């Protein structure tokens, strides 16, 4: 079946329908990963977005549910140059097309993803629609331009406090759409975790007397999370060690008076170079975000920049002065992606040990 991707600027890309046969509107973004599509599709930070995979062949090693970051696919649509007809992997449980159908996610293959990615890089991310009917493109464009995702964090956060693990160190994980491997990375470091929903108050979080607090990744515009920003502002007043990842990194900056802005086309993929000024070393990182901290609004008395993106020089990490707080824009758990910065979890546990014995 022929299908189309209509962009809000009026451009139309044709292809073949894959996945579930339904229409879908989303923000069109591109991901530069060569592998790891299972982790990408199930990353809660992709709510409201459709992914253009820049790597030309997707699905060649099939579906392994143990590789997922959550229990479902969160992306709204999938656009590829070629979907593998045959997948080969000794761990394979099914194929990608069937997985998309199971989760009712529409897609297109046969699209010139190279051209589409160049357009997104030049014009910036824009909204689009997967459809089989383009008889009235003007009407579709109007529909696309009226589309706004509704409170994405509320869709992906846990619904009630949830306890995991039985390790020594008591971690409060403020869940804005946490990836599964962040939880795994903590649990294997002798922790016990309480997941808290995004609307949780600081009093509820502090009631468990946490040894450390982790602010998770998540989707959408960080400024929309007003309750969380208020809560984090109150948590900041304590002396408890805090680690912020991705959205958590942005929310803590907002809570301390900085501003965030939208990137032209975002950072999405497991191959983004980041330089650490303290180690004078470049790390390759996994990233998935569309917003960044405006450095001009950052109070140098509050925090110092520790990591910077090599490509566009945006802030990738902060250390808060007179606090036991470190935040990073990238994903140290890196699934899929390199494990270069997994040491940040070890550093977090070391800080907790020092805090407990202070």
State the catalytic residues: 246, 331, 333
The 10 Å Cβ neighbour count of residue 92 is: 12
Q: How many CA atoms lie within 13 A of 216 on its CB side?
A: 30
Contact 141, 10 (CB under 8 A): yes
Three-state SS letters, the chain: CEEEEEECCCCEEEEEEEECCCCEEEEEEEECCCCCHHHHHCCHHHCCEEEEECCCEECCCCECHHHCCCCCCCCCEEECCEECCCCCCCCCCECHHHHHHHCCCEEEECCCHHHHHHHHHHHCCEEEEEECCCCCHHHHHHHHHCCCCCCHHHHHCCCCCEEECCCCEEEEEECCCCCHHHHHHHHCCCEEEEEECCCCCHHHHHCCCCCEEEECCCCCCHHHCHHHHHHHHHHHCCCCCEEEECHHHHHHHHHCCCEEEEEEEEEEEEEEEEEECCCCEEEEEEEEEEEEEEHHHCCCCCEEEEEEECCCCCEEEEEECCCCEEEECCECCCCCCCCCCCHHHHHHHHHHHHHHCC
Q: How far is CA 312 from CA 18, 316, 319, in A?
A: 35, 11, 20
Structure tokens at 293: 């901290």
């Amino acid at each position: 079946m022929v299908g189309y991707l209509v962009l809000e600027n009026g451009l139309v890309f044709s292809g073949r329908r894959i996945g579930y046969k339904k229409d879908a509107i989303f923000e069109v973004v591109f991901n530069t990963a060569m592998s790891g599509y299972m982790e990408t599709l199930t990353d809660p930070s992709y709510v409201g977005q459709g992914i253009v995979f820049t790597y030309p062949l997707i699905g060649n090693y099939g579906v392994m549910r143990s590789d997922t970051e959550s229990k479902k696919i969160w992306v709204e649509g999938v656009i590829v140059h070629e979907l593998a007809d045959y997948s080969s992997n000794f761990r394979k449980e099914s194929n990608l097309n069937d997985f998309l159908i199971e989760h009712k996610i529409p897609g297109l293959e046969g699209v010139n993803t190279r051209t589409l990615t160049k357009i997104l890089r030049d014009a910036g991310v824009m909204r689009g629609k997967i459809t089989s009917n383009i008889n009235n493109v003007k009407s579709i464009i109007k529909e696309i331009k009226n589309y706004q995702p509704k409170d994405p964090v509320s869709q992906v956060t846990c619904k009630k406090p949830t306890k995991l693990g039985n390790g020594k160190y008591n971690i409060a994980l403020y869940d804005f759409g946490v990836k599964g491997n962040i939880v795994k990375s903590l649990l294997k470091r002798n922790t016990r975790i309480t997941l808290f929903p995004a609307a949780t108050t600081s009093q509820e979080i502090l009631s468990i007397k946490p040894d450390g607090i982790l602010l998770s990744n998540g989707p959408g515009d960080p400024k929309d999370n007003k309750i969380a920003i208020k809560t984090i502002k109150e948590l900041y007043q304590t002396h408890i060690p805090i680690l912020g990842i991705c959205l958590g990194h942005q929310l803590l900056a907002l809570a301390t008076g900085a501003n965030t802005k939208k990137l032209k086309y975002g950072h999405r993929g497991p191959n983004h170079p980041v330089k650490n000024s303290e180690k004078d070393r470049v790390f390759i990182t996994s990233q998935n975000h569309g917003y960044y901290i405006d450095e001009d609004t950052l109070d140098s008395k509050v925090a110092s920049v520790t990591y910077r993106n090599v490509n566009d020089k945006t802030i990738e990490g902060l250390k808060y002065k007179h606090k036991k707080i470190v935040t990073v824009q990238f994903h140290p758990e890196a699934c899929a992606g390199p494990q270069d910065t997994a040491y940040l979890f070890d550093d977090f546990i070391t800080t907790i040990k020092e805090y407990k014995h202070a």
